[in-house]
Every structure is written in structure tokens, then in C-alpha cells.
Amino acid sequence: MRALVLALTVALAGSTTVLVQTGLAQTPESIAEQKLNELRQHRHDLANRHRIAILVMNESNIPNVERHLFDEAARLFSAKGYEIVSADSLAAAVSAHAKGTPWSDAELAGIADRYQVETIAVATLKRYQAKRSFGIPVLPFADSWTTAYIDMDGAVYRRSESKVVWTKTFNHRESKLFGAEYETRSHARSRASDNAIGKMFSEYLTKKS
């Protein structure tokens, strides 16, 4: 009997040693720390899930329109619950990209990691033009209109998928007829670009939902 008890004691002691060595025997403190770390990571992931970086490239012949397009895109994504990384914070990332070249998955992955965002929306302005036409030369404001042309490429990168998940080439043309009202070409371009970037990314958001 004593031999049996001794053998069981040694066996149990050995099992305890194996459990501790393999990490299966965790203290309440270590379990609590693990759960806390998992909770912190979950909260971190939730916080970044709706963070978005909006990158606007201007390859048109009209300078200094990037911020206007950024603001319009930011307004659209904000309305859908996204947290927007500021344009000033993203200036270095945009300037580092070579104009006329596509954004690679690796390049966008680096930006997503740097700014801790799940989504990157890219808009590349190709054409930004407006023309004014007159129907009655002697009374130009009695029958005049402006036509704006906006050509834009769009893309959306998802960090969780490590790739571009949506692309779009968007060509937008709109005309506005005036009676006694007058509109500059600059205003026509601005109005049309707002509509263009809104329609382009709305297509992605509709598809996503």
C-alpha cells in the first residue's frame, strides 16, 4: 500500500511539472493578463477599423485643387462613420509617390501601417477642365452655359486583405445653362469635381454595404 501511494505521489508530481513546463498550468494572474491584452488588441482593432486615409493626387494642368477634393471625399466618408486622417498628416505620403505611376499594394500597406488605418481611398485627378459656350453672340448672358469635364481614377485599399479591393475610372461631364446668371470656369470645375468624387466613392460605399 505504501508503495502504491508513493508511486501515485511521484506520478502526480511529475504531471504537475510537465504542465508547468508546457505552460498549461497558468496562474490566475497570467490568465487575467492574457485576457486584458486580448481586450486591448480588440479595442485597438475596433478603433482602427473605421479609420481611413484619403490620398489625392493631381495630374491635371490646374494646380492646388487637391485640398478641395480631399475635403469633399472626407465629407462623404465621415457621413458613413469613418474617422478621417487629416490631409496635413498625409502630405508626406502623397508627395513621396511618383506622379503618373500606380500605387502598389506594398506602398499602400506601408502607409496603412504608418497611420494605423484599415482603409485607404485614393483619388487621382487626370482632367480638370471647363468651357463656356454662348448661344446668342449679341446677348451672351441671355443664352450661355458652361461644361465641365472631370476625369478621375479611384481605388480603395483594405489593410485586412493586404490589397486594393476596388478600382474605378470615372469620367464626368456636366453642363449648366444660365439665363442672367454668370458662372466662372473655376466655379464650374469645382462644382463638377465635387459631384464626380462623390459619385465615384459612393459607388464603392454602395457596393461595400
pLDDT at 207: 85
The pLDDT of residue 36 is above 70: no
Query: Residue 22 — pLDDT band, cuts 50, 70, 90?
Result: very low
**Cell (9 digits) for 163:** 490589397
Average pLDDT over residues 2-16: 43
- In 10 A of CB 43, how many CB atoms? 10
CA neighbor of 124 nearest in space, from 101, 148, 147: 101
Reduce the DSSP state of residue 48 to 3 states and report it: helix
Pairing state of beta strands 51-58 and 144-158? unpaired
Instruction: Assess whether pLDDT exceeds 70 at residue 136.
Output: no
Measured CA to CA, the distance from residue 42 to residue 46 in angstroms comes to: 6
DSSP per position, 91-148: HHHHHTSPTTSPPPHHHHHHHHHHHT-SEEEEEEEEEEEEEEEES-TTSGGGSEEEEE
| Gap between the Cα atoms of 89 and 131, Å rounded | 35
pLDDT at 4 over 50: no
Pick the CATH number of 25-208 from 3.40.50.2020, 3.90.1010.10, 3.20.20.140, 3.40.50.10610: 3.40.50.10610
Predicted pLDDT at 7? 44
| pLDDT at residue 45 tops 90 | no
Radius of gyration from C-alpha coordinates of the chain: 29
Does the pLDDT value for residue 32 go beyond 50? yes
Which of the pair, 75 or 207, is modelled with greater confidence? Answer: 75
- Lookup: cell for 159: 489593410
Q: What is the pLDDT of residues 145-202, one digit of tens each?
A: 889 999 999 999 999 999 999 999 999 999 887 654 567 889 899 999 999 999 999 9
Residue range 74-87: average pLDDT?
97
| Rounded Cα gap, residues 164 and 54, in angstroms | 14
* pLDDT value of residue 29: 75
Indicate the Cα dihedral angle 112, 115, 119, 120, nearest 10°: -80
Reported pTM: 0.73
- Joined together, the cell numbers standing for residue 142 give 441671355
Q: Is the pLDDT of residue 27 over 80?
A: yes
- Every domain of the chain and the residues it spans: 25-208
DSSP-assigned letter for residue 99: T
pLDDT, residue 177, reads 74
